[in-house]
Amino acid sequence: MGSTTLKTLLMATSILATAGFAHAADTTLTIESWRTDDLAIWQEKLIPAFEAKNPGIKVKFAPTPPTEYDAALGARFDAGSAGDIITCRPFDKSLEQFKRGNLTSLNDLPGMKNFSDVAKAAWTTDDGKDTFCVPMASVIHGFIYNKDAFEKLGIAIPTTEAEFFAALDKIKADGTYIPMAMGTKDLWEAATMGYQNIGPTYWKGEEGRAKLIKGEAKLTDPEWVEPYKVLLKWKDYLGDGFEAQTYPDSQNLFTLGRAAIYPAGSWEIGLFNTQAQFKMGAFPPPVKNAGDACYISDHNDIGAGLNAKSAHPEEAKKFLEWVASPEFADIYANALPGFFSLNSTPVKMADPLAQEFVSWREKCKPTIRSTYQILARGTPNLENETWVESANVINGTDTPEAAAKKLQDGLDSWYKPAK
């Protein structure tokens, strides 16, 4: 055999071997996220669970700090260097990326059948035709309480508005504890843990929210003003100087055992478990009258989408199908107590406080914060204005009626419901 023929044969063999090796090489998927706090959970629990069942696919979790995420992700989309899996913010930020062609419709992903319409609402187009992220987790609103304080004062868990204020009166009269830890300095808690926490009970959750978007209800209607009237009554139970009290101040007051009740989002569970030296419990927003339907804000917080320009769309879809599975839901929700699975298969929570929150789904109707979908796209921004007015009502600088009128006037100035 001539040396040229031998060289050709060796070269062909080498090319074939290289091709075979390339075919056998692992595909690496990169996940974009703002959840820097979750790095260990992904590396130690989630990724190994997926890779064990999907040989040939490797996954890398590459988070960006939360304050930089939106801008950095936008720049990477523009440069064509964004990761394969995109962790989705709820509502407009992700919708904008879908409209720009950066995220793919996931209507055909079989696992999407595992999620309700409310669960998918944060990642679905206004017309309801396309869903573009797999719902991963939500946060639930309610009240966390100091069990030791309740036992000492002989207080039963309040289920109605009247029982709630009777409990606050009893705590205030005793004087050992501040009845409720919440300040108005940072504004957003007054809306998020105040108005949006108790409000769904009055405007009937999704029913009322849909009417507002359709223009069939106004923020000046009784069911939207009444939560402000209830919130105004909170003022007497928040302790001295609540107007200057920041969010971290309120957290500290509660975890140091100085306040009996904390209007809460479930995201507090992880932190409170490490800081509080007393037993804690939780109860859902009290209903107006015994026997009324119970509503909770079960607010979509985080999802996962597919980069439309991913070089590995099939592998990425495999990964998203796993994210849509009960197995993922179980690992994720238990690794992050307080961030609850949106999967229709219930997840049994190992953490008792988290289990208490999630158990409300069985008896209460879920809804999302009224300002987040569609209604915060203009100026003035209804979400931010709701922060301001919720604080103003508690501070006594605006009446409930005046606050509602300001919010409705602001909305009317730019929002025209679709006919």
pLDDT tens digit sequence for 73-100? 999 999 999 999 999 999 999 999 999 9
How many Å apart are CA 178 and CA 176, to the nearest integer?
A: 7
Q: Is the pLDDT of residue 187 over 50?
A: yes
> What does pLDDT average to over the chain?
94
CB 129 within 8 A of CB 257: no
Q: Which residue, 190, 198, 195, 189, is CA-closest to 160?
A: 198
Please tell me the predicted confidence (pLDDT) of residue 291: 96
Domains of the chain: 28-138+300-361 (3.40.190.10), 140-298+367-413 (3.40.190.10)
Structure confidence by residue, pLDDT tens digits, 238-275? 999 999 999 999 999 999 999 999 999 999 999 999 99
Mean pLDDT computed over 102-111: 98
Residue 16: band (very low, low, confident or very high) from pLDDT cuts 50, 70, 90? very low
To which residue do tokens 């699975």 refer?
341
Q: Taking the CB of residue 62, how many other CB atoms lie within 10 A of it?
A: 12
CA distances to 4, 147, 153, 178, 347 from 256, in Å: 83, 13, 18, 12, 31
CB 305 within 8 A of CB 94: yes
Pairing of strands 178-180, 134-146: unpaired
Q: Is the pLDDT of residue 14 over 70?
A: no
Q: Which residue, 333, 349, 336, is CA-closest to 270?
A: 336
Residue, of 109 and 8, whose pLDDT is higher? 109
As a whole number of Å, the end-to-end CA separation of the chain is 82
Using the 8-state DSSP alphabet, how is residue 349 labeled? Answer: P
Mean pLDDT computed over 46-51: 98
Q: Is the pLDDT of residue 50 over 50?
A: yes
Please tell me the predicted confidence (pLDDT) of residue 419: 67
Please tell me the predicted confidence (pLDDT) of residue 15: 42
Q: Is the pLDDT of residue 58 over 50?
A: yes
Give me the DSSP letters along 296-310. Answer: EEEEEEEEEEEBTT-
Please tell me the predicted confidence (pLDDT) of residue 22: 38
Pairing of strands 340-341, 364-367: unpaired
Helices and strands per DSSP (H, E), number in the chain: 20, 10
Q: Is the pLDDT of residue 34 over 60?
A: yes
Q: Which residue, 57, 67, 73, 74, is CA-closest to 36?
A: 67
Residue 12: band (very low, low, confident or very high) from pLDDT cuts 50, 70, 90? very low
